[in-house]
Structure 1
Amino acid sequence: MNISGSMTQVLLIEDSSQIGHARRTAQQLAEQHGFDERDAGRVALVATELASNVLKHASHGEMHLRVLPRANGFGIELLAIDRAQGFDLQACMADGFSTGGTQGIGLGSISRQTEVFDVYADARGAVLLARFYPRTDREPDMRFGISQHSLHNDPACGDVWHLAYDNGSVSALIIDGLGHGEEAERAGRAGAQTFALMPFAEPVMLMEDMHRDMIGTRGGAVAFARFDARRDSLTFAGVGNIGASLINADKSRGLASHPGIVGVQYRKARPFDYAHVNGHLLIMYSDGLQSRWNLQDYPGLVHRHPAVIASVLHRDFCRGRDDVTVLVVALEAAHG
């Protein structure tokens, strides 16, 4: 299964009129992607409650929306993100509890409307995740998270990402086209189209093919990682300044890239192999994200859903001077 990259849709939540806009936008997105009236209604209800929660609890924040390609259709992802001073998560999970002092249906009740619900909250703010799949979709949740945003909300994004799943293997790509805007996007998409044709090809050959097809563009930084559940190993190849780490509850390992610009000039990109990675997180990110983050500074975050982790990192470490992409993949043998 191939998942072609797309940007995160961002809705500001700063006044009460934007709650209705969030509800309508989320419901329409669900209806456009095959949700029936009942399932789209669940999406609308939760969008309303999450947006209301942001406004009551934090006075302002954002809702991030994403369509999730599935084997037989689509899912919808909502993330409510704020920078408030934290809240009592256990109390908020109780039905009837509202952080704003009004009668709410409670995060516990919201969670029962979703297929996937997760929360991370501390003194820096909160991120609440809701994923929805049609009732006819019995496939398990794909445990990845992506947060991608262009500089100044430009419709063109020089960062490009791609994911491929195949019988227990996962292959993940990020390209950062040189600069930003349409020409950077053209460079990134040229490489991603090549990657999508053969995401599990031999790494040196794959990088060379991407280089060939990016010639004539600005070129860019490229990194891809392949997880093989049967071998319990990860192979990583990178050229340029795409950051990448393997993380579990105990330690973090940075993944090494080679210097150069794919599509312009680079030396042969020797791949690196990492053993015993089942249960780890793979985190890859463009240089629009600061590199000084450490999940150990966020107690318990490593155990949250990858979509929550990606959103926390984007919220707290986006440079604000470039396109930014954060991709988090849970490396699990059950992906197959």
Structure 2
Amino acid sequence: MTISGSMTQVLPIEDSSQIGHARRTVQQLAERNGFDATDCGRVALVATELASNILKHATRGELHLRILPRASGAGIEMIAVDRAGGFDVDACLADGFSTRGTQGIGLGAVSRQTEVFDVYADARGAVLLARLYPRGDKAPDQRFGVSQHSLHNDPACGDVWHLAFDGPCISALVIDGLGHGEDAERAGRAGEIAFAQAPFSTPVHLVEDIHRDMLGTRGGALAIAQFDSHRDALRFVGIGNIGASLIEPGKSRGLASHPGIVGGQYRKAQPFDYAQVNGQLLIMYSDGLQSRWNLQDYPGLVHRHPAVIAAILHRDFCRGRDDVTVVVIALEAAHG
């Protein structure tokens, strides 16, 4: 199964009228993606509570939406992002908790309506993740997260990401088309199409195919990471300034790239192999994200869901002068 990259849909939450807009927007997404009336009701309830919590605790923030393609159907991801300090996670998870004396159903009740629920809060604010799947979808959650935003909310994004899953194997692509806007997006999409045709080919062959298809475009930076759980190994190749790191508690290592421009000029595409990576996080990001972040500055964040980690990194390290993409993948051992 492959997941073609899409931008994060951002709904500002700054006044009470936007709670209703968020509820209707998310419910329509659910209806268009095969949720029945009962599941649409769950989605609407969760959207309402997440948006309400933003206003209660931060007075303003954002609700980030993403469709999660599945082997059959799709799920919906909602991430509430605020920047208010003093968020009391334990209190808010208690049923009926409300900061204003209203009859809030509490995030504890919300968590029971979702297949995946996770929270991270610090002095900078809180990030709350909810993922919902139709009740008949019993497939496990795929533990990855993406935060992708274009410069100035441009409908075109020069960054491209793509994930392919084949049993215990994952192949991940991030491309940053030079510049931003439609021409940068055209370059990135040309590379993505080439990648999607054979995502588990050897990295060198993939880079050659992508380079060929990006000729005549602006070109761009590229990184490909292929994880094989059975071999407990990661193979990585990078051209240009896509950042990548392997993270485990108390330890981080950067993954090496080569200089050059895919679709332009580069000297070589030598892959690097990394062993014993099961249980680690792979983080790949375009240069719209600052590179000086360190997950050790966030106690416990390494153990949170990858979607929460991606949202936190975007919240705190987006440069604000380019498209930005953050992809976080939990590299997990195969079972059985």
Q: Fold-level match, TM-score > 0.5?
A: yes
What corresponds to 1:319 in structure 2?
319
What corresponds to 1:298 in structure 2?
298
Deviation at 1:167, TM superposition (A): 1.7
- Show the 5 A alignment for 1:52-131: 52-131=52-131
Question: What are the superposed Cα offsets for residues 75-105 of structure 1, whole Å, 9 maximum, x if unpaired?
Answer: 0000000000031211111101123443311
On the 8 A contact 2:230/2:334 being kept in 1, the answer is: no
Question: What are the superposed Cα offsets for residues 143-202 of structure 1, whole Å, 9 maximum, x if unpaired?
Answer: 000000000111000000000000200011100000000000000000000001111101
What corresponds to 2:164 in structure 1?
164
User: TM-score scaled by structure 2?
Assistant: 0.99
- What code does the residue aligned with 2:230 have? R
Q: Residues 326 and 27 (structure 1 numbering): CA distance in 2 closer, same or farther, change over 3 Å? A: same
CA distance in 1, matches of 2:289, 2:74: 28
Residue 20 (1) aligns with residue 23 (2): no
- Unaligned 5+ segments in structure 2 are none
Deviation at 1:335, TM superposition (A): 8.0
Deviation at 1:250, TM superposition (A): 2.1
What corresponds to 2:176 in structure 1?
176
**Higher alpha-carbon deviation: 325-334 or 7-16:** 325-334
What corresponds to 1:234 in structure 2?
234
Question: What are the superposed Cα offsets for residues 94-124 of structure 1, whole Å, 9 maximum, x if unpaired?
Answer: 1011234433111110000000000000111
Secondary structure at the aligned position of 1:299 is classed as coil
- What code does the residue aligned with 1:264 have? G
What corresponds to 1:144 in structure 2?
144
User: TM-score scaled by structure 1?
Assistant: 0.99
- Unaligned 5+ segments in structure 1 are none
- What code does the residue aligned with 2:183 have? E
On the 8 A contact 2:242/2:285 being kept in 1, the answer is: yes
Structure 1 residue ranges, 4+ long, deviating more than 4 angstroms after superposition: none
Residue 221 (1) aligns with residue 240 (2): no
CA RMSD of the aligned region, Å? 1.0
Q: Residues 269 and 53 (structure 1 numbering): CA distance in 2 closer, same or farther, change over 3 Å? A: same
- What code does the residue aligned with 2:281 have? L
What corresponds to 1:269 in structure 2?
269
On the 8 A contact 2:161/2:172 being kept in 1, the answer is: yes
Aligned residues: 336
CA distance in 1, matches of 2:42, 2:256: 43
Question: What are the superposed Cα offsets for residues 253-303 of structure 1, whole Å, 9 maximum, x if unpaired?
Answer: 000100000000001110000000000000000000000100000000000
What corresponds to 1:210 in structure 2?
210
**Higher alpha-carbon deviation: 247-256 or 101-110:** 101-110
What corresponds to 2:332 in structure 1?
332
Secondary structure at the aligned position of 2:190 is classed as helix
Q: Residues 254 and 101 (structure 1 numbering): CA distance in 2 closer, same or farther, change over 3 Å? A: farther
- What code does the residue aligned with 1:255 have? L
